[in-house]
Structure 1
Amino acid sequence: MSSHSPHGQSPLRTVQVLGGGNAGSSAHVRSLTSGLVARGVRVTVCAPAEADRLYDFAGAGAEHVHVPRSSDPGSVAALRAACTDADLVHAHGLHASFRAVLALGGRRTPLVVTWHNRAHAEGARAHLLRLLERRVAKAAAVVLGTTSDLVDRARRTGARDARLAAVGLPAPRHTEGPEDAERPHSKVRAELGAIGRPLLMAVGSLDRHRGYELLLDASHLWCRLDPVPLVVIAGEGPQRAALQRRIEDEELPVRLVGLRDDVPALLAAADLALLPGGGESRSVLAQEALHARVPLVAALAGGIRELVGDAAELVPPDDPRAFAEAVVRLLDDPGRYERLRDAGTRQAATWPTEDETVAQVLSVYDELTQPRPMI
């Protein structure tokens, strides 16, 4: 693709807006930034300072502007200043998109919004989220949804142009040294306490909608196996204390290991990957598991069927017995286990690459910023 800074023309200037940012959307913005900068686009990433520390947007060639995740007037003013001479603003996630709408006010700067996941809330807060969704969908020039469900939701909510987004899984960025990245599986399993027993891996923030309560319920049912599988959950969040209390009180074979920067190594050492809830529309864990040839057991929720096809063991949501039985069946059936590994490799090959993702986004930017010829 040709550079976006041809002779005599200033390069396209984009602002990427990220809120708290889950792992998927943060990694996507990092990957997008790198690809856009390589194609001659100027990129400013507006995100909390901790997101820049984790994802090093400046290292990808962007200017980073610290914008807190709250919608207070200070963060909106900081965002407004950063967007002053932008040709286009691209916001990721509902809350970041709403801040971008406030910051742009009545300006004619095109706004592109990517919805990576459906926002979760209950009670009065759920009503507020629906209002935010409507405001954002109507203000955006284009809404990109990472699953068909999200695209349909954007259309129902009032988007004038909603499209399915290509979202390539960025290659893992190891913060540890290469010798750590290549740790043998046996060493990883020993560190986790999974020698001579199956290792089952779950990854994601410890929030209610992730389904970890269901996972603890399911783990009761495989306690009678010999050897007893060990479940390891990598992530942090508000449910940490409640989950830990249950694990101790009920003597469950589950370990919470907190936030880890070596998730690809943990996953590669696992026998199965577990996705018990519908927390993500385009699950990063599901993608990493299939890439790593680790069979996946997942609740049939969100966009999981669209993402993995027949390359995973999908079970009804909110059914701990069905989830537990699917795990046991897979551990007991080496033929099915190998078929799922092969199916995962084939399915992963159908997903868009990082280059294809950048190319699609850039074509949307071109549509919205190129001057149209006079008729």
Structure 2
Amino acid sequence: MTPVSTHSPHGQSSLRTVQVLGGGNAGSSAHVRSLAAGLVARGVKVTVCAPVEAERTYDFTGTGAHHVHVPRSSDPGSLAVLRAACADADLVHAHGLHASFRTALALGGRRTPLVVTWHDRVHADGARAHLLRLLERRVMRAATVVLGATSELVDRARRTGARDARLAAVALPGHPRRPVAPEDPDRLRPKARAELGAIGRPLLIAVGSLERHRGYDVLLDAARVWRSLDPVPLVVVAGEGSMRAELQRRIEDEGLPVVLAGRRDDVTELLAAADLALLPSRRESRSVLAQEALHARVPLVASDVGGIPELVGDAAELVPHGDAEALADAVVRLLDDPERRELLKDRGVRQAATWPTEDETVAQVLCVYDELTQPGLLG
């Protein structure tokens, strides 16, 4: 690979970058922290503009970056703070649709290169859906380069007006406070299963916010089938969200073998204890759960949506989204077929080895930065 310069085109000793994060989901926030750490280690000056809550959780300053509190808002005060933070930057990198839109407004007519990483699509209905399409077009046309986390996002960026859209798969970063994977998961597995109430029965794990697009209503439909199995599997869902009360009512009314475990900081241990991981989403880009499941050698059953097929290849059982019968059948087949489960575990390890490391992700992004800050590029 061609060596990457950390010199700005204007003669300063180091490239000065600003990373802009909005509310930020866990994946994009962890990516910004990973990126900040890698850039600082390579001599790049990094400022992270993000809400103070994100700084408390992800400790951007712990990487050597400078943090500026910018609320998740497009009001004039927030834009003024963002504009000031970007004033001396050689390049600005925004993550997510809303953060990118605010950044485009803050930069105004400046010629500072704007890189946008599109981690996932934002979805809405009715009038809000029309507004989101307008925001997408505005952001795609304002960006110097759009980096899509999946091929699907890259294609959409090009259709929406991006001048330069490229695939830039985001590595699965180690969350600064995520527990380290146990050295001996087999030793801890019985303890974790006992705590969850899964002794002598299969344990199925799903992780993600309790929101409509996660497909947990479909998961509960499938769980009605699993009630007839012997032994009955236990389904544990880790996450919180607006659908908790609705889902809990169904679990109780229908006697479903499902536990809503709330937010958990031990997802690594949960997966290590599981027989299967479930991802019934209606939409997904580069799923963190899918990546962690394959890394942990846990067979995965997932919807064939968005970036999932590209991410997992032949290392998971894919089912049509919204099809509870297909989801239920896939789980029953895997529970009855230990050889198939072992095959998926081995394939998962091989597939995970094809994903970029954090160092490779940082190197790719830095190559883009170097390209965009070469003298004469923008004029």
- The Cα offsets for residues 330-371 of structure 1, whole Å up to 9 and x where unpaired, read as 010011010000000010011111111001100100111121
Unaligned regions of 5+ residues in structure 1, if any? Answer: none
**What RMSD in Å do the two structures reach over aligned CA positions?**
2.1
Aligned partner (choices 189, 203, 210) of residue 206 of structure 1: 210
Aligned partner (choices 245, 248, 251) of residue 247 of structure 1: 251
Query: Residue 115 of structure 2 aligns with which residue?
Result: 112
Query: Residue 89 of structure 1 aligns with which residue?
Result: 92
- The Cα offsets for residues 104-140 of structure 1, whole Å up to 9 and x where unpaired, read as 1111111100111111111111110000000000000
In structure 1, how many angstroms separate the alpha carbons of the residues matched to 2:154 and 2:98? 17
The 8 Å contact of residues 150 and 169 in structure 2, kept in 1 or not, is answered as no
Q: 1:175 to 1:163 in 2, by over 3 A?
A: closer
Corresponding position: 1:256 with 2:260: yes
- The Cα offsets for residues 42-96 of structure 1, whole Å up to 9 and x where unpaired, read as 1111111221222111111111112121222222222112111111111111111
- The Cα offsets for residues 293-351 of structure 1, whole Å up to 9 and x where unpaired, read as 00000011111110000000001111001001101100100110100000000100111
Report the TM-score, using the length of structure 2 for normalisation.
Answer: 0.94
4+ runs of 1 displaced by more than 3 Å?
Answer: 172-183
In structure 2, how many angstroms separate the alpha carbons of the residues matched to 1:181 and 1:58? 33
Query: Residue 299 of structure 2 aligns with which residue?
Result: 295
SS at match of 2:241: coil
Unaligned regions of 5+ residues in structure 2, if any? Answer: none
Query: Residue 64 of structure 2 aligns with which residue?
Result: 61
In structure 2, how many angstroms separate the alpha carbons of the residues matched to 1:280 and 1:23? 14
Q: Which has the higher mean CA deviation after the structures are superposed, 99-108 or 304-313? A: 99-108
Report the TM-score, using the length of structure 1 for normalisation.
Answer: 0.95
Query: Residue 128 of structure 1 aligns with which residue?
Result: 131
The 8 Å contact of residues 181 and 268 in structure 2, kept in 1 or not, is answered as no
Query: Residue 274 of structure 1 aligns with which residue?
Result: 278
Corresponding position: 1:160 with 2:160: no
In structure 2, how many angstroms separate the alpha carbons of the residues matched to 1:24 and 1:177? 17
In structure 1, how many angstroms separate the alpha carbons of the residues matched to 2:184 and 2:74? 38
Query: Residue 21 of structure 1 aligns with which residue?
Result: 24
Trace 1:29-48 onto structure 2 (pairs within 5 A). Answer: 29-48=32-51
Using the TM superposition, give the Cα deviation of residue 2 of structure 1 relative to its aligned residue in structure 2, in angstroms: 6.0
SS at match of 1:108: coil
Query: Residue 361 of structure 1 aligns with which residue?
Result: 365
The 8 Å contact of residues 6 and 14 in structure 2, kept in 1 or not, is answered as yes
Using the TM superposition, give the Cα deviation of residue 12 of structure 1 relative to its aligned residue in structure 2, in angstroms: 0.8
Using the TM superposition, give the Cα deviation of residue 3 of structure 1 relative to its aligned residue in structure 2, in angstroms: 6.5
The 8 Å contact of residues 4 and 370 in structure 2, kept in 1 or not, is answered as no
Q: 1:70 to 1:193 in 2, by over 3 A?
A: farther
Using the TM superposition, give the Cα deviation of residue 10 of structure 1 relative to its aligned residue in structure 2, in angstroms: 2.3
The 8 Å contact of residues 166 and 360 in structure 1, kept in 2 or not, is answered as no
Aligned partner (choices 308, 312, 317) of residue 321 of structure 2: 317
In structure 1, how many angstroms separate the alpha carbons of the residues matched to 2:179 and 2:317? 32
Same amino acid, percent of matched pairs? 77
The 8 Å contact of residues 5 and 40 in structure 1, kept in 2 or not, is answered as no
Q: How many residues align?
A: 374
